[in-house]
Amino acid sequence: MCGIVAYLGDKEAQPLLLEGLRRLEYRGYDSSGMAVLNGKGLEVVKKVGRIQQLERALSGQPLHGTLGICHTRWATHGKATEINAHPHTDASGKLAIVHNGVIENYGTLKKKLSDKGFQFRTETDTEVLAFLIGFYFDTLNSETENRLEMAVMEALREVTGTYGLVAIHEDQPGVMVGARRGSPLVLGIGPHEHFLASDVSAVAAHTQTVAHLRDFDVVTIDRNGYRLKSLSQNQAGLEISQIEYQSGVAEMGDFPHFMLKEIFEQPVSIQNAVRGRLNLEESTAQLGGLNLNPQELREIDRIVITACGTALHAGMVGEYIIESLAHVPVEIEYASEFRLRNSPMDRRTLVIAVSQSGETEDTLGALREARRKGHRVLGICNNVASTLARETDGGVYMYAGPEVSVAATKSFTSQTIIFVLLGLLLGRMRFLSASQGRGIIEAIEALPDQITQVLKQSSHIRDIAKKYSHSHSMLFFGRQMQYGIALEGALKMKEISYIHAEGHPTAELKHGIIALVDEKTPSVFLCPKDGAYDKNINNLQQIKARKGPVIAVATEGNEEIVQHADDVIFIPEAPEYTAPILSVVALQLFAYHMAVILGKDVDKPRNLAKSVTVP
């Protein structure tokens, strides 16, 4: 989490830094700050709250200079206060750093520096790192040419933990140093100017030439260009790539919130996820990026899907899809648990790591643990240049486009449709007939129009949300492929409306959950016409018998459900493996409208940030 932007060039830094910071605010909005070298010294401005607070402060106190760093914070160590905001300075006040990550041994380092007489001002691990770099800077000869670079490298050799950082010092006013371990940092290369940022989106409007730093890389930028070194034994080297920037892609347009825009983009994002991947002639899917030949795919005996949050819920839906279509055993693992446990897996087990950003720390840890044990690992992500994409053996890109709102929507449905493609590919290699494969392809191709039909019910769903906006708690129920959707629907509700919500398998109702049912607690039942429909109705009636309000998500044309539920959201008729995508779109709209009605900040929910790059 947290967002970093740094600039060195021949233009005024402040407007460029603010523009980049706005594009990264989804990474954290507890506080923000900026430091600029103005030719006379270092100037720092920090404010608690959203970036608008910093902008207001800078409008009355502009920072002039062509070298600067800035940061938007999601608090880890220390409260969200002005003094804890970044940038942090060293004891001399001449050095400033911005940092994303966690310094795990900051307590030990703080004691070491305290014993040398240093007095700290904040509760943060980043200030300790600033003091440590400043300490090494001051021990070096003032004539040392690469003084800041050497100080950063010397300090980082003592650090245990993760970091994406940029440092500047007023005694070297034409230099900035960036470093990365476990937290993304991208170098933007332009004519007579360079950027460092946590995400390409912060610099894409100004340069399309970028390079993603690898773990242990240290880059030093001056007026003449940049040079790269490494803290590891690996030889340093950057892979330069070109990115495509489309003005307005990450803008809201006519929508009031990014979340609503991204919900309505799902017909297109689904098309993008499947484009070029359906082989009509052979009635199968084609996923060349897997880097597995047909024989290797047939030899897979077991799949383990590992992810966090929304991506984990997509994996849970994917578990049922792949087992149903391909008859390959699938297990789901929280990435945070997988990376720590000693899970027995034979050599024919395939691990699939799922992450929208490709930078989720726990998911990367699970990926590395699987590879350490010799397993082939595939990735599903939305970022072609991410760490996950670089470290997996192959995978599938989502092509969902930028997702700015913290609450994931289109990334979830893109991940889910990719699991349908995987199920189709593996199923056709095992037992699915050509006619069955064609039927699956037809269902996939029908999805964009079916999603559009669900989106047309937005006003109806808003009316339902208004009816239940007084609720303090909600229950979500689903079976089989809809169980993961129940979990995701509950997650969306609590993420943006702050209403307590739980997702459960429908059949677990009588195993304790029914004790929560009362006339003030609505239950959302996912009950399309599938193999579990009659059982779902039975459980729904048990809720009604206890005066619990029921909202049903059901298949169009089902008149029976109207007699049982208080309110109904209809979705088009679809097979079991694509119906979850239609159900979740309805629940995304339900959560969105609930949050708007309650006056919540939909795109920037409290305590949350988009990309969890610290464990």
pLDDT (mean) for 262-273? 96
- Cite the DSSP H helix spans in 392-482: 410-428, 434-455, 458-467
Instruction: Label residue 22 by pLDDT band (50, 70, 90).
Output: confident
- Told to judge if 2 belongs to the known catalytic residues of this protein, a careful annotator would answer yes
226: β partners: 221
| Residue 352 CA, distance from chain mean position | 17
Tell me the C-alpha distance between 314 and 141, whole Å.
Answer: 55
pLDDT at 395: 94
Q: In the prediction, which pLDDT does 247 show?
A: 47
Q: Amino acid letter at 442? A: E
Distance from C-alpha of 397 to C-alpha of 356, rounded to nearest angstrom: 9
Residue 87 backbone phi and psi in degrees, to 5: -70, 155
Q: Work out the average pLDDT over 531-547.
A: 88
Side-chain half-sphere exposure of 413, counting CA atoms within 13 A: 34
pLDDT of the residue at 101: 86
Annotate 350-365 with DSSP letters as a single string. Answer: EEEEEESSS--HHHHH
CB 123, CB 78: distance < 8 Å? yes
| Confidence tier at 489 by pLDDT (50, 70, 90) | very high
Structural domains of the chain in order of their starting residue, each with its CATH number: 3-242 (3.60.20.10), 253-450 (3.40.50.10490), 457-602 (3.40.50.10490)
Q: Looking at 19-28, 331-340, 347-356, 555-564, which range is the least confident one?
A: 19-28
pLDDT tens by residue, 294-312: 999 999 999 999 999 999 9
C-alpha to C-alpha distances, 567 to 434, 465, 468, 540, 561, nearest whole angstrom: 40, 10, 11, 12, 9
From the list 2, 70, 308, 381, the catalytic residue is: 2
Cα 116 to Cα 42, 78, 135, 151, 182, distances in angstroms:
25, 23, 10, 17, 30
The CA distances from residue 208 to 215, 259, 398, in Å, are 22, 26, 21
User: What's the whole-number average pLDDT of the chain?
Assistant: 91
- Identify the pLDDT of residue 333: 94
The residue type at 548? G
CA distance 135 to 132: 5
Please give the Cα distance from 544 to 535 (Å, whole number). 15
CA–CA separation, 410 vs 418, rounded Å?
12
Contact 443, 568 (CB under 8 A): no
Cα atoms in the Cβ-side hemisphere of radius 13 Å centred on 270: 24
From the list 605, 253, 258, 199, the residue with the least C-alpha distance to 404 is: 258
176-222 pLDDT, tens per residue?
999 999 888 999 998 889 999 988 888 888 888 888 898 899 999 99
407, 255 contact by CB (below 8 A)? no
Look up the pTM and report it. Answer: 0.84
Say how many Å lie between the first and final Cα of the chain, rounded.
10
Single-letter residue type at 267: P
Cα–Cα distance list, 373 to 85, 347, 366, 391, 602 (Å): 40, 9, 11, 14, 41
DSSP, collapsed to helix, strand or coil, labels residue 397 as: strand
235 — alpha (psi -120 to 50), left (phi > 0) or beta? beta
User: In terms of C-beta density within 10 A (0-12 exposed, 13-18 middle, 19 or more buried), how is residue 106 classed?
Assistant: buried
DSSP 527-578: --SSTTHHHHHHHHHHHHHTT--EEEEEETT--HHHHH-SEEEEE----TTT
Distance between CA atoms of 602 and 590, rounded to whole angstroms?
Answer: 12
d(CA 403, CA 104): 30
Cα-based distances in Å from 511 to 402, 506, 515, 537, 546? 41, 10, 9, 17, 15
The predicted-structure confidence for 53-93, as pLDDT tens digits, reads as follows: 888 889 888 999 999 999 988 666 667 788 888 899 999 99
Q: Which residues contact 338 (CB under 8 A, 6 or more apart)?
A: 304, 306, 366, 369, 370
